[in-house]
């Protein structure tokens, strides 16, 4: 049996049918309970249900997460860190388990500059939001596991399903009402579609699972438009284009903006998502990129995804 958390999310919906096909019809059990239950003893399940699942489960795919970026750290940790801890505890009671795939994010790099590669990532530069900090802590917890066959699958920015990337793209044209945005024009914006991401994740779990591996599911700099290009597309129809500044300058300006001022709402929304684009941290597809390409799974250039998404919002 395959046990999946977060299977009704943007990536989970794309992954599930492909995973079922690749695993030759092995039954799938979705934990549909609220994500808050993940941090409860036994995952909020009855003792009988929990034990029956543990007897049958061979594969665990842990996708569930609290993805709101502006929650207090203690609150988001309840799902992303403690929920992961509970999933690992559950997995230790599964005698047939041969793979535990933990879905993470490439943005655990936080404020750290430089390449993000398929390896353990430690840094002390801090984070732009509580979501990425809690996901980094959860990843460290998984990688410290010594008794289970675990692997990490870090996802890039996923377009599809109306997630946070679409929210950012929807807000950017309205940023003409404010004078500045956080970001550097040369920074690559790594974008992948939900469909491609789901198929890639399913393939890696079903056919290429390696305990201890760290997988990057991303486009890579060669297939990523720059933030400057994104701004070119967003303002192709006109409008006052904001000046790009450092994250620290934007954060300082945000504190001085009145809630009654024009563009405050858009500025607050963009403050949640954009500051990482002021830090140069290209994502390396590494060996996983080569593996996916050899299987015929090559990502579309992010410029095409971005242009299509912005056009659909007009």
CA pair distance 284, 118, nearest whole angstrom? 7
pLDDT above 90 covers what percent of the chain? 55
Strand, helix or coil for residue 85? helix
Q: Is residue 30 part of a domain?
A: yes
179 in any annotated domain:
no
pLDDT for residue 269: 65
Residues whose CB falls within 8 Å of the CB of residue 131, separated by 6 or more in sequence, listed in order: 65, 66, 67, 68, 69, 71, 76, 80
φ, ψ of residue 4 in degrees (nearest 5): -125, 130
The residue-averaged pLDDT of 53-57 equals 93
With respect to residue 79, please indicate whether it lies within any of the assigned structural domains: yes
Please answer whether residues 193 and 130 qualify as being in contact, where contact means their C-beta atoms are separated by less than 8 angstroms. Answer: no
E strands present in 175-237? 180-182, 191-193, 214-217
Q: What's the confidence (pLDDT) of residue 2?
A: 95
Residue 178 CB partners (closer than 8 Å, separation 6+): 242, 257, 262, 263, 266, 267
259 lies in a domain?
no
Query: Rounded to whole angstroms, how far apart are CA atoms 80 and 12?
Result: 16
> C-alpha distances in angstroms, 166 versus 163, 200, 310?
6, 21, 8
What CATH number is attached to the domain comprising 11? 3.40.50.720
SS3 204: helix
CA pair distance 98, 78, nearest whole angstrom: 27
User: In whole numbers, what is the pLDDT of the chain averaged over residues?
Assistant: 86
pLDDT for the residue numbered 235: 78
pLDDT score at 249 = 81
- Is residue 312 one of the residues assigned to a domain? no
pLDDT tens-digit map of 143-200: 999 899 999 999 999 987 656 666 666 666 555 566 778 888 999 999 999 999 999 9
pLDDT at residue 126 tops 70:
yes
Determine whether 170 is exposed, middle or buried from the number of CB atoms within 10 Å of its CB (0-12, 13-18, 19+): middle
In the DSSP assignment, the letter for residue 111 is T
Whether residue 156 lies inside any domain: the answer is yes
Inter-residue contact 78 to 182 (CB < 8 Å): no
Looking at residue 77, its pLDDT comes to: 94
Give me the domain span that covers residue 105: 2-161+191-221+281-300
For the cut 90, the answer to whether the pLDDT of residue 109 exceeds it is yes
pLDDT tens figures, 12-42: 999 999 999 999 878 998 886 655 567 667 6
Query: Tens digit of pLDDT for each residue in 209-264?
Result: 999 999 999 999 999 999 888 888 777 766 677 888 887 887 777 776 655 555 56
The number of domains in the chain is 1
pLDDT at 300 over 90: yes
238: left (phi over 0), alpha (psi -120 to 50) or beta: left
């Amino acid at each position: 049996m395959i046990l999946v958390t977060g299977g009704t999310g943007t990536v989970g919906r794309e992954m599930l049918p492909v995973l079922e096909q690749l695993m030759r019809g092995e039954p799938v059990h979705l934990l549909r309970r609220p994500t808050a239950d993940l941090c409860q003893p036994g995952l909020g399940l009855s003792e009988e249900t929990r034990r029956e699942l543990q007897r049958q489960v061979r594969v665990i795919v842990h996708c569930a997460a609290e993805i709101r970026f502006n929650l207090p750290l203690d609150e988001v940790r309840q799902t992303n860190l403690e929920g992961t801890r509970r999933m690992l505890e559950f997995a230790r009671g599964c005698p047939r388990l041969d793979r535990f795939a933990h879905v993470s994010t490439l943005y655990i790099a936080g404020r750290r500059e430089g390449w993000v590669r398929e390896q353990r990532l430690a840094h002390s530069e801090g984070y732009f939001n509580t979501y990425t900090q809690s996901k980094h802590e959860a990843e460290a917890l998984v990688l410290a596991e010594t008794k289970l066959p675990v692997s990490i699958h870090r996802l890039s920015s996923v377009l599809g399903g109306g997630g946070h990337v679409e929210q950012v793209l929807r807000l950017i044209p309205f940023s003409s009402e404010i004078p500045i945005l956080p970001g550097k024009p040369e920074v690559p914006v790594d974008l992948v579609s939900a469909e491609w991401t789901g198929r890639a994740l399913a393939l890696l779990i079903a056919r290429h699972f390696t305990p201890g591996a760290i997988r990057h599911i991303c486009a890579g700099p060669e297939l990523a438009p720059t933030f400057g290009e994104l701004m070119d597309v967003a303002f192709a129809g006109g409008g006052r284009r904001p000046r790009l500044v450092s994250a620290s300058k934007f954060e300082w300006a945000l504190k001085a903006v009145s809630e009654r001022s024009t563009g405050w709402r858009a500025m607050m929304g963009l403050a949640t998502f954009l500051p990482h684009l002021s830090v140069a941290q290209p994502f390396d597809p590494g060996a996983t990129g080569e593996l996916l390409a050899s299987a015929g799974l090559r990502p579309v250039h992010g410029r095409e995804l971005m242009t299509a998404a912005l056009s659909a919002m007009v």
